[in-house]
Amino acid sequence: MLTSPENSSNKTPRANTERLPRLGFVLLAAISLFWGANWPIMKIALMEIPVWTFRTLCLFLGGIGILGLAKTSGLKLTVPKMELRPLLLVSLLNITGWHLCSAYGLVYMEAGRAVIIAYTMPVWASILGSFILGERWTLARLIGLCLGVSGLLILIGPDIKTLGSAPLGAVFMLGSAVTWAWGTVLIKYFHWTMPTLVLTGWQLILGGIPVIIGALILEPVNAILQVSRGGGLALGYIIILPVIFCYWAWFKIVNLFPASVAAIGTLAIPVIGVFSSAMVLGESIGLQEIAALILIVAALSIAMIKPKGF
């Protein structure tokens, strides 16, 4: 998962303003559905495809697809020399860190719980933003942080007592949320002249380089040849919809809506992730999951909306 700044070259003409909100809501509903349902489908794919190989295929094929869209849109694919080092850094955090941690997290814990932990990202972004960007702490952010941590403790508390594999999964998922947050803050910190679609595609490809090296060293080269039809369909779904389409749709939404409205729209993703995991994988939903979900969604809502009086 990655974030990119709005690019002035992508601003929408006034002539289309009446139609744009409707298009934005349609795209927002689409990414909520596809990114939410992506979690149990990733779990299915990872039952057959080794983690490093899986992420290599997603990142490189997704990156090539996005850059292909950029090229057909008439955008230049070159990276300015001054932006190469920042691009490598944010790629390492947004792509390498997020994708490897989330994939390993799904190996060790249920998909429904994994998606809840992953979407604590805005809470950690608030903390990092205060140090890196000098953003001022507010009462809303503090309350949001407390609610988010409380939800996290409710979710993983009983698993820690078992000393089984679930706490390791929670650590990986928390790592994915923190690396995503760190990468997001650095995207805001650096100045970019590249169009957002080009920046996104290069992050996927550059961030995928350490992943493909790991795949070649740690996993058999022919691992993908042993995948069943179901695993192949799951992989195809992930590359085409959650990676290529949803990344394009997300940046389109950012151009159509205020950033706060776009961010609030993502709150539906963990909800869909939890319930789609129950339907697809048969994972149980109990009071523990519901309570954690309510607290974390409340934390994100407060952090994003910033109610009056806070």
Cβ–Cβ < 8 Å for 111, 39: yes
According to the model, what pLDDT value does residue 218 have?
Answer: 86
- Region 132-150: what's the mean pLDDT? 77
Q: Binning pLDDT at 50, 70 and 90, where does residue 9 land?
A: very low
Q: Pick the residue with more confidence: 88 or 36?
A: 88
User: Could you give the CA distance from residue 300 to residue 282 in angstroms, rounded to a whole number?
Assistant: 27
User: Could you give the CA distance from residue 285 to residue 118 in angstroms, rounded to a whole number?
Assistant: 18
Instruction: Give just the sign of the alpha carbon dihedral 77, 93, 275, 307.
Output: negative
Q: What is the 3-state secondary structure (H, E, C) of the chain?
A: CCCCCCCHHHCCCHHHCCCHHHHHHHHHHHHHHHHHHHHHHHHHHHCCCCHHHHHHHHHHHHHHHHHHHHHHCCCCCCCCHHHHHHHHHHHHHHHHHHHHHHHHHHHHCCHHHHHHHHCCHHHHHHHHHHHHCCCCCCHHHHHHHHHHHHHHHHHHHHHHHHCCCHHHHHHHHHHHHHHHHHHHHHHHHCCCCCCHHHHHHHHHHHHHHHHHHHHHHHCCCCHHHHCCHHHHHHHHHHHHHHHHHHHHHHHHHHHHCCHHHHHHHCCHHHHHHHHHHHHHHCCCCCHHHHHHHHHHHHHHHHHHHCCCCC
According to the model, what pLDDT value does residue 209 have?
Answer: 94
User: Could you give the CA distance from residue 260 to residue 28 in angstroms, rounded to a whole number?
Assistant: 13
- Region 267-281: what's the mean pLDDT? 82
- Region 92-97: what's the mean pLDDT? 92
Q: Residue 293 is encoded by which pair of tokens?
A: 């979900």
Cβ–Cβ < 8 Å for 283, 115: no
Residue 161 pLDDT > 80: no
Percentage of the chain beyond pLDDT 70 is 81
Residue 207 pLDDT > 80: yes
According to the model, what pLDDT value does residue 11 have?
Answer: 45
User: Could you give the CA distance from residue 32 to residue 37 in angstroms, rounded to a whole number?
Assistant: 8
Cβ–Cβ < 8 Å for 272, 106: no
List Cβ neighbours of 125 (8 Å cut-off, separation of 6 or more). Answer: 181, 184, 185
> pLDDT tens digits, residue range 221-250?
887 777 888 889 999 999 999 999 998 887
> pLDDT tens digits, residue range 248-257?
887 777 667 6
User: Could you give the CA distance from residue 146 to residue 244 in angstroms, rounded to a whole number?
Assistant: 35
Going from N- to C-terminal start, the domains of the chain cover 19-305
Cβ–Cβ < 8 Å for 124, 178: yes
pTM to 2 decimal places = 0.75
Amino acid at 125: A
Q: Pick the residue with more confidence: 308 or 145?
A: 145
Q: Binning pLDDT at 50, 70 and 90, where does residue 12 land?
A: very low
